[in-house]
Amino acid sequence: MRTTTIWSILASLTAGLLLGSMAVAAKKMNKQFLNIGDKKPPGYTHVVTSPPGKTIFISGQGGSAPDGSMPTDFSLQAKNTFENLKRCLALAGATFKDVVKINYFVTDLANTTELRRIRAEYLDMQQPPASTLVQTALSQGLLLEAEAVAVVPE
């Protein structure tokens, strides 16, 4: 009986150590920002991997102000767009640090430099999320729309 007890204790300890090491390994998993080739692309990442967690999909957010008004200036619309994204992320328990993919839809590609300037105030441009920039027609008065995917680790 004594041998059985020792084996039971050893089995329990081994299982506990194994589960503990798996939990530590899971906690150490971080997002990875991967790019094809030797050069980092300007302002985006080719591939972002993320550990398991809660995935959040934010539908297109435009540049309307909190009061519903629509500025005619691109810079104001861009700032409002990111503030709207920020509110959506907070609603889901996330921040811009959790964003792994973001898509931009603009009416004029000439605004790309200004979009990137304002985007850098919100996103980590050392490790930027994957992104897409598309020129398109948007709702009347809308100069920019952005949608995002975020992952909050478990």
Higher pLDDT, 26 or 83: 83
pLDDT in tens, 86-143: 999 999 999 999 999 999 999 999 999 999 999 999 998 888 888 889 998 988 889 9
Question: Taking a C-beta distance cutoff of 8 angstroms, is the pair 47, 130 a contact?
Answer: yes
Question: Taking a C-beta distance cutoff of 8 angstroms, is the pair 127, 33 a contact?
Answer: yes
Domain coordinates in residue numbering, the chain: 1-28, 32-153
* pLDDT for res 25: 47
Tokens of 132: 């897409």
pLDDT in tens, 38-84: 777 777 777 777 778 899 999 999 998 889 899 999 999 999 999 99
Q: What whole-number distance in Å separates Cα of residue 30 and Cα of residue 20?
A: 18
pTM exceeding 0.75: no
Question: Which overall architecture, per CATH, does domain 32-153 show?
Answer: 2-Layer Sandwich (3.30)
Instruction: Give the DSSP per-residue string, the chain.
Output: -HHHHHHHHHHHHHHHHHHHHHHHHHHH---EEE-SSSSPPTT--SEEE--SEEEEEEEEEE---TTS---SSHHHHHHHHHHHHHHHHHHTT--GGGEEEEEEEES-GGGHHHHHHHHTTTS-SSSPPEEEEEE---STT--EEEEEEEEEE-
